[in-house]
Amino acid sequence: SPPYLILQQIMAGFHPIRYLSNATATSSSARRINFHHIHCLSTASATSSSPARRTANYKPTIWDDSYIQSLPIDFMEEKYIYQREKLKEEVRFLINQQHSFTKQLELVDTLCQLGLGYHFDAEIKNLLSSISSLTKNINNLIENNNLHDFALLFRLVREHDIHNASILRLDDLISCFKKEEESFNISNQLDVKGMINLYEASFLAMEGEDELDEAGKFAMKHLKYHDRSLLSPQLVEQIEHALELPLHWRMSRLHTRWFIDAYGRQKNFNPTLLEFAKLDFNMVQSIYKTELQELSRWWRNLNVLHGELNFVRDRLVENYLWAIGFAFQPELWRSRKAITKIISLITTIDDIYDIYGTLDELKLFTNSIEEWNIAATQHLPDYMKKCLTALFNTINDIASSFSKEKELDILPCLKRMWDDLCKAYFIEAMWYHNGYTPTLDEYLDNAWVSISGTCALTTAYCLSDDLTSEAIKSLEFYPPIVRYSCMLFRLYDDLGTCTTEIQRGDVPKSIQCYMKEKNVSETTARDYIKCLISIYWKKLNKEHTVSSKYVESFRKVLVDIPRTAQCFYQYRDGYGEQDHETREQIISIIIKPISL
Ligand code: 0FV
Ligand code: MN
Ligand code: MN
Ligand code: MN
Ligand code: MN
């Protein structure tokens, strides 16, 4: 049947795979592929008609391999390791000293913002847990109406999942805020630092915590319009940075890079902390460079994008930046490397589905992913064979080197994530080729998968150091928290990329679906999507507090996905157009050391 008719059948409710079995089988493929599979086109008919193919005019990479290989690795030497150990012990001593708890809180906050928290995970948890479980401390905050410390403690406790902090009540924080609001109304004196802390804490609000939300809005409004002329330049800088984006939404390495400079401009900074932070940043950066050089060699040798696939986004270094966003700590090298490789392949395949492939070819491709067998791909066009070869080899390698190390078989999980992803891609391709605009709900129901966050999450889960065979068996595809995290990724991506996608020709994205469904303007639709983003953040925050059954490294990725997405898409499609903010971010995090 002509594609047009088949598509009408699909839209009438056929499941994609069932629909595919309706198509005419060619004798060569019917032998190999089972009845339920896709087998409507032979290679000959797919290529002989030479369909009009589109392109996206993506620019080539700005980071060629020879440049990456030429980067000096400056901070791996023995003397730095020794120096860092020394500084670390000094700071550990500082943490364990008996300060007032106000000082202790500020120290923890500073350490975390300097990017040093990961050296003291246990100490920080202990400290926060003991501070927040002492009734005397909490009563002290309430009696003194100390909004500044109360909000700070509240945020830190939530960020670090301190579970025994039940005496730290939201109601008390809110009444503390109400008193502050009253006295502000009388005196017009704003507790600026208190307001900053309240503002930052409000982004950890969970679904249903509307009062915290309202308090945060109050803080935001007053910080925005507060007279800056009487404040120190350091404080003004801090306010502007906070208003631009709250801490909870920021990609942590990027914030760390900013904060190291900002901290050095503060009046009473601690020189030991600053020295430690700079040295550690540079040492971690050296690890990144080494990994990136290895990955860049891998990508060059894999050589998938030359020839017919040259329309695909070539973004290895940007992919590594995503991976740092998801897993910055040095010990997470395994996830970081695998995620970079996987994103490179995701992008290749996404561009094939969105731009280049015909619907008939995409059917075959979707089926081959389910088969996971290179011998069964002969009937595919060459460009697809090449891509599948690279994919199967890479994923099989990742799984087999992990199983050599840990004796655990993660291949079934990895295959499953590709299968789910490509089926979601295929549904979008069908919608596009049929000129169909789904409702927003219908679109999002598929789009939270097609954004591919599930792949990053499954990889992080499977490559965790603490993976057990029970954890593999109990891997859920996909609990609500995974959905929320990926939904945020999708919504941020649509805000940043849909304009060029629609111009080029692509499935209607959330904004277009909503415009059509509600008959509203693009501005209204965008506002609605931003509103959905706040809602999903609150859902994610809530689900995160009850997800302690997952290992820490995986739980972190759940929040780091929307953070990193927000960072790439804040000003534009910072992934497709890599030569603006993204380039600067790569330089500051990966390329350029901090001068000591
Ligand atoms: C989205 O591109 C994007 F950024 C991709 C595929 C790479 C990042 C992937 C991970 C971090 C896992 P695009 O806007 O073309 O995606 P859609 O889904 O809108 O086609
Ligand atoms: Mn921290
Ligand atoms: Mn795309
Ligand atoms: Mn796509
Ligand atoms: Mn997009």
560 lines ligand 1 (CB under 6 A): no
Q: How far apart are CA 589 and CA 284, in angstroms?
A: 10
The reply to whether ligand 1 has any atom less than 6 angstroms from the CB of 450 is yes
- The two structure tokens encoding residue 139: 């009563």
pLDDT for 54 equals 83
Contact at 8 Å (CB) between 355 and 504?
yes
Q: Is 456 in the pocket of ligand 1 (CB under 6 A)?
A: yes
| Tens of pLDDT, residues 538-592 | 999 999 988 888 999 999 999 999 999 999 999 899 999 988 999 999 999 999 9
Given a cut of 60, whether residue 21 has pLDDT beyond it is no
Q: Which atom of ligand 1 is nearest to the CA of 573?
A: 14
CA dihedral 261, 265, 270, 274 (to 10 degrees): 20
Q: Rounded distance, CA 36 to CA 271, Å?
A: 67
Element (H, E) at 326: helix 316-326
Cβ(58) to ligand 1 under 6 A? no
Asked if pLDDT for residue 440 goes beyond 60, the answer is yes
With a cut of 70, say whether residue 18 has pLDDT above it: no
Starting from the CA of residue 160, give the closest ligand: 2
Atom 18 (ligand 1) nearest CA: 451
Instruction: Give percent of the chain with pLDDT exceeding 90.
Output: 84
- Are residues 11 and 434 in contact, defined by beta-carbon separation less than 8 angstroms? yes
In ligand 1, the atom with minimum distance to the C-alpha of 456 is: 12
Check if the beta carbon of residue 387 is closer than 8 Å to that of residue 352.
yes
Peptide bond into 356 cis (omega under 30): no
Query: How many contiguous H segments (helices) and E segments (strands) does the chain have?
Result: 29, 0
Would you state the structure tokens that stand for residue 505, as one six-digit string? 């020709």
CA of 494 to the centre of ligand 3 (A): 10
Which tokens sit at 497? 């990329």
| Candidate of 349, 452, 487 to mutate for ligand 1, largest count of ligand atoms within 8 Å of Cβ | 452
**pTM given for the model:** 0.91
Identify the nearest ligand to the CA of 454 by its number.
1
Helix (H) or strand (E) holding 127: helix 121-132
Q: Ligand 1 center to residue 559 CA distance, Å?
A: 17
Which letter, b or e, does each residue of 237-248 get, where b requires 16 or more Cβ atoms within 10 Å of its Cβ? Answer: bbbebbeebbbb
pLDDT tens for 126-146 read 999 999 998 999 999 999 999
Helix/strand/coil (H/E/C) assignment for every residue in 86-106: HHHHHHHHHHHCCCCHHHHHH
Whether residue 343 is predicted with pLDDT greater than 90 in this model: the reply is yes
In this structure, are residues 106 and 124 in contact, taking their beta carbons and an 8 Å threshold?
no
| Ligand 1 atom, smallest distance to 561 CA | 11
Which residue owns the Cα nearest ligand 1 atom 6?
347
Provide the ipTM.
Answer: 0.95
How remote is the CA of residue 468 from the centroid of ligand 4, in Å? 33
Q: What is the pLDDT of residues 24-83, one digit of tens each?
A: 223 333 322 232 333 333 343 444 457 788 888 899 999 999 999 999 999 999 999 999
Structure tokens at 217: 């809005």
Q: What is the DSSP string of 168-219?
A: S-HHHHHHHHHHHHHHHHHH----HHHHHHHHHHHTT--TT-HHHHHHHHHH
